[in-house]
Amino acid sequence: MTSETELIPGPRDVVAGSGEVRLTKRSQLYAGDGTEGVGNWLRTVLQQATGLPLHEGRELDDACDDGIGLQLDPALGPEEYRLVSDSNGVFIEGGGPAGVFWGAQTLRQLLGPDAYRRAPLDRQRAWAVPHLTIQDSPRFRWRGLMLDVARHFMPKEGVLRYLDLMAAHKLNVFHFHLTDDQGWRVQIKRYPKLTEIGSWRARTKFGHRASPLWDDKPHGGFYTQDDIREIVAYAAERHITVVPEIDVPGHSQAAIAAYPELGNTDVIDTASLSVWDTWGINPNVLAPTDNTLRFYEGVFEELLELFPSEFIHVGGDECLKDQWKQSPTAQARIAELGLADEDELQSWFIGHFDKWLSARGRRLVGWDEILEGGLADGAVVSSWRGYEGGITAARAGHDVVMCPEQYVYLDWRQAPGEDEPVPIAHVRTLEDVYRFEPVPEQLSEAEARHVLGTQANVWTEVMEDHARVDYQTFPRLAAFAEVAWSALPAPGERDFADFERRMTAHYARLDALGVAYRPPTGPLPWQRRPGVLGRPLDGPPPRA
């Protein structure tokens, strides 16, 4: 096999032929009914990279010999595709437009790393697709990446770039973490102070929260509603669903700094709070009042107009209950509702928005803490504190997205060496991610059907710019993408040596895309952060 056929994620079935299809100035691209959007995308990226005109074919026969044909085949699954390259040309069939799009992504890999460039390096070079047949489909319907833009803001262009990187790896859910203690990143027109005040902080902790270092430059930024519409439309063209996250009732100091009445005013002087400038779990949480509920209903009303996703994430994690325990208002609400304790109060809070979203045809997603005090009806659980939350939720008949920190928290360090920049938590190597199994073995076959899929999470406390995000995310996201897409053997039986071999070709694609990944040999000099305190933990992470 040539380097062009070293595909990631690995397809279900490949049959090699003997020969190749040469793309030339005469080659046409035909997009059948329902595939026009994929055709426009494919023609654009290939014209940029190759300089070939790839004229629009009017019928399938126009793609014969040296062209590309796209069409739907209802016999295939919605994301399933078949790619055939032979003496008749290159043909991609999918059960739906998404399937055709994933086939087009495979075609791009087959053309070689330079197919990922934005201008041709040599207009005289030959572009060829080897003769072969590929049949492929994803294992999971939810193949996600969570990007935290609250801790360190990523400008819109960076987000669009990550959508392209996701598409290149056949990932299809973008979990957009838009709010936290350290920043509010989405414009809400009825509450302008959320971005006027809540979108920037005066300074930023540099390194782990125990670090003595500070960046004294103000940090901030937010997306206008038109920015969000653009991001959602850009994602949709790439068959990626954007799932927004607005964190409640914890991780909310940025919102309280903007609107102090949202906090527990009977416990602390919320008017004195500013957007938080350090990391960790914050005690300043939302007050469980009708005013808070109405405020966030207003937030979600605007969000639902911006995000068509079936799923809306409400956070629900790491909500410290100390202020509620001290708050007469919170204690009165517990008594009024007949609740047992503060855990049930949080469950009531999340349950309110579960019902509110359900009434509008949406589904609530929350981190596994929403299990505490009783699981909200219809809620989907993002299982991050290991497997246990996902197991509990699936056994209770709730859908689950598996994202256990022990495997897929990409802010965790990649190697034990002292050169790793701002080392956080346990070592999670490329191989560790490759051997991650999203479906817990404890689940029965029926329970396992509640596992919608899996997601890798990129928390950006110690990632101050896109180069740091790239370093932590890649190459491990490539391994994760194969776990999410391909039907792999049991973790211990997976052929990591073969994956490493295919990664040799994939690094060249990442180079063409300009990704500042961690090289296999370790960080480059400018990727290190000497003297910046992290929080490395020794040994393997605990299984949970």
Q: Which residues are catalytic?
A: 180, 251, 318
| Other Cβ atoms within 10 Å of 103 Cβ, number | 28
Distance CA 369, CA 285 (A): 15
Alpha-carbon span 150 to 133, nearest angstrom:
44
Q: How many CB atoms lie within 10 A of CB 527?
A: 18
Structure tokens at 69: 């044909």
- Report the C-alpha gap between 343 and 321 in whole angstroms: 8
3-state secondary structure of 183: strand
| Cβ atoms 304, 360 nearer than 8 A | yes
Kindly report whether the peptide bond that precedes residue 491 is cis, defined as omega within 30 degrees of 0: no
Look at residues 393, 396, 410, 458 and name the one whose alpha carbon lies nearest to residue 175: 458
Which residues 6+ apart lie within 8 Å of 124 measured at CB? none
Helix (H) or strand (E) holding 470: helix 466-473
β partners of residue 247: none
How far apart are alpha carbons 393 and 479 in whole angstroms?
26
DSSP 41-89: HHHHHHHHHH----EEPSSGGGGTTT-EEEEE-TTS-TT-EEEEEETTE
Residue 268, judged by CB atoms within 10 A of its CB (0-12, 13-18, 19+), counts as middle
Task: For residue 174, give the 3-state DSSP assignment.
Answer: strand
The residues, any chain, with a CB within 8 Å of residue 444's CB and separated by 6 or more, are none
Question: Angle at CA 61, nearest 5°, toward 57 and 66?
Answer: 75
- ∠420-423-429 over CA atoms, to 5°? 70
Asked if residue 314 lies in contact with residue 245, where contact means CB atoms within 8 angstroms, the answer is yes
